[in-house]
Chains A and B, each alone.
Chain A
Amino acid sequence: MNISKKIITLPIISFSFLLLAKDVDKGNTIPNLKIRMLDGSSATIHELVEDGPLMIDFWATWCVPCKKVMKFLDQYHQEFEDEGFKVLMINTDTPRSIGKVKSYVRSQDYKFIVGMDPNKMISKKLNGMVMPTLILVDKGGEIKWRHQGYIPGEEVEIKNQIEMLINIIKGNTVEG
């Protein structure tokens, strides 16, 4: 390895440790990205978190684990609707299969919100290239929880995280 390679590799490793050491409780504010929805309308992420927490998930029609977890996410979307909670499923199908997305979503009668990201601009900006990637955002737009992949049974943990966040928000509201 020559000197220049060492120079560039060193900050990468240092920065990786810096990230690992970061106070995860603080969280980052999610960027206010504009998303085109399946029905042709558009919304920004900050608009979607105005009423309550938001769970973002990245999926594609050919992704089996994504389809496995979708059923539970739709259940939670409906179960916690009164708390202002929403699920935003961002679809990353390419032009190869994008024509079948609406057909699949309608066939399952899913109620969650579906966003479209065919060139993966949003998934790259939110680091959702691994599918499924779940990002739980609170009412203020702060990222509270991230999760990659889906192992059957993880829906319990997903629900716990949503409930915890809703309870925190409720607690803050009562205290306030």
Chain B
Amino acid sequence: MKVKVVIFFICTTLVAANELDYNAAINTNYGNNYDFYNFSENIFDLNFFYNDLHGWIQYEYSNPPDIGFPTNDIRKFRMEYASGDFNLKLGDIYEIWGRGMMLNQFDDQITNFDNGTRGMLVEYMNGPLMLTHINGNSNMYSNQYSDRVPDFNNIHNMNANRLQYDWNSLLLGLTQLRSNEDHQLTLGPNVSVNHNLKGFYTSWSGANADFFSEYVDKVSTVYTGTGTPNDTLKKGFGVYHNINLYLGNWGLSSEYKRYAFDAAHGDITVNEYGNQIEYQQMPTLGKEQNATLLGRVTHNYNFNDERGVQFELNGSLLGLAVTAQYSHLSRDEEWRSVTNFDWEEKPISNYLPSSNESALPYWENYQEISGYILDDKLYFKLGRGNNKEITKAPKYFEGQQMDKFIDSFWSYDTTDTVLFGTEYQIIDSMEVFDTSYSDPYDVMSKWWQETKSFTIPVELNYIFENGYTIGVGFQYQEKSIMDRKMGNSEGYSAADSSWEMYNPDDYTEYFNTTTTKLFSREGDPVDTQFNRLLYISISKAPRWSFTITQDWTSAFDAGAPVDPYYNPLEALVYGDLKYFTGERDKIAPPSWTENRWVSAEFAYNITSSQRVSIFYGSIQGGLFCSNGVCRLIPPFNDGLKITYSASF
């Protein structure tokens, strides 16, 4: 701590003395709501430059932050020296090699994901050749059970090397990374794991085409202190290809991935030591959405066990931007229920993703047209997206079985005895069993959970001559979550060691049921959830903008959230005069506010590089994803958020 304070004082004094060139940024976020959800985050970044030297310090005072631990300290720092053929970095290192299959380090404060390394980077360049070495420690936190305070911690001591050859349009890279990890398991004590990764990547860029390819091989072993037993060995690999083709104003991007680091049945990634390590943040092959409702139905990508393809076409039509995207993902293997709890892995015979429900497939497609019309006065965006996903497959059997018949009869021995003569017969009896089997017959017992959604985002902005702009945005979504069960068997009987038939008298009778997992606020099952998001904005460039947003839903897959307080903004939006005349109970919101979240935000540019925004109202919680990392955001009810950002 003392060392950091000294560093900070030296840097600020030097900068203040105008000896160096520098820039700085301040980001302040404050929030407080009716549910006692409060945060205060203050982050200050300072960069300074002196000839070949660059320094960076990030200071944070957060108590508490929106997500993470309370901090009052220098959070990050780095010194860089670049001269001629050498590049040296000391402090917090963030690097991306290739497309990140081995190393992709970033600090995402929105999801509280930080996989940077505190240590050293040395780089030597000689013409097209570049050698890089990284060495240091990473302390990585994640949220497994808690929304806000991290409860999982993995510590890595790593070193990594790269040899890259950059020759005109061709690039080749050889990479290697070793890490000794103190790994926190979901259950049980921490384990010491050694990870060894080797990989390569290559890219080529031409006038009308380019490609990129990367492969990584990973071996992980648990260190027990008594050697390296083979039964702890975990092997995996990942491969990624990207080919882009261009013709005139059109470009087609195609991507393929196959990540096979640790296969396991189930809808959740098991927190095992054989998993992909945090440094590996790979391409996801899903559309990075910027519409709120589409962001809520994002697939939870599995970096350990997933393959897939993605195609995206970008073009220009009548001066407007056109995008069409399709992706299909699945696990690397299909699964078959052996019993109600045991599973049998069945590798997929080809390289493409599977559509079999047991492989938890995911499909998405999205089309969008956007651009300026009416002499650049009207900006519009019209999209259409739908996706389908199998999120769980608790049972999946399709095969044959035979019924076993056991006939028994008694065998009697009526041999006369010498002692008693024929008068008394000794009858000896014995039960005899005769086992026979029926002809094999088809058995199917399948159960999976399926989600589907269909979304239309629309946005319009009209710019007036006097600098005012009116904006309207509307997003509409239909979503379903269903339990699907089908087959002629309802389950496996452990007692009989066989699949129990749905109709014991007629094995050809099949059932096919669909049960919704969505419920209305009153608890009634509903097939479809309707979501709508409407926002209206007015702005005056370059000074201010004001936006009112209403988010509305019709059903829930978990308990319906309770709005604890009727706020004046809601009353204003719904035109409820009784609220303002004191005739309304503020802690008992009226029924028309249920299932709705209303908020207003005012943003003001104090100067061109200083901006303050004030938010008031409620936000619906839900899944938020960024950079392939997702977290559940708790709802924010009847609260205030103030954000200030400045850069100098």
Point out residues on A near B: beta carbons under 8 Å. Answer: 4-5, 7-9, 11-12, 15-16, 18-20, 22, 24, 28-29, 31, 39-40, 61-64, 67-68, 71-72, 94-100, 102-104, 106-109, 118-121, 124-130, 133, 143, 145-149, 151-154, 156-157
Contact = CB atoms under 8 A, between A and B. Distances in A.
Contact of B106 (A63, A94, A126, A151): A94
B211 to A, nearest CB: 10
A86 B456 CA distance: 37
Contacts of A16: 26, 44
14 contacts: A8-B73, A12-B59, A28-B23, A95-B283, A96-B627, A107-B251, A119-B104, A127-B648, A148-B608, A148-B647, A149-B605, A151-B545, A154-B542, A156-B541
B5 A120 contact: no
Interface stretch (B231-239, B349-357, B466-474, B579-587): B466-474
B12 A152 contact: no
A22 B15 CA distance: 12
B271 to A, nearest CB: 23
Contact of A95 (B47, B96, B315): B96
A147 B104 contact: no
B539 A152 contact: yes
Contacts of A64: 290, 381, 459
A119 B289 contact: no
Contacts of A153: 463-464, 467-469, 539-542
Q: Which residue among A15, A109, A125 has the maximum number of chain B CB atoms within 10 Å of its CB? A: A15
Contacts of A11: 8-9, 12
Q: Name B's interface SS.
A: strand
B541 A127 contact: no
A106 B647 contact: no
Given A19-B24, A99-B242, A127-B45, A147 B609 contact: yes
Nearest to A146: B609
A94 B627 contact: yes
A71 B5 CA distance: 45
Q: Contact residue range for chain B?
A: 35 or more
B314 interface: yes
A141 to B, nearest CB: 10
A144 to B, nearest CB: 11
Interface string B330-365: 000000000000000000000000000000000000
A31 B542 contact: no
B25 interface: yes
B210 A147 contact: no
Contact of B205 (A8, A18, A39): A39
B258 to A, nearest CB: 16
B314 A28 contact: no
Nearest to B539: A151
Contacts of B541: 151-154, 156-157
Contacts of B49: 31
A40 B61 contact: no
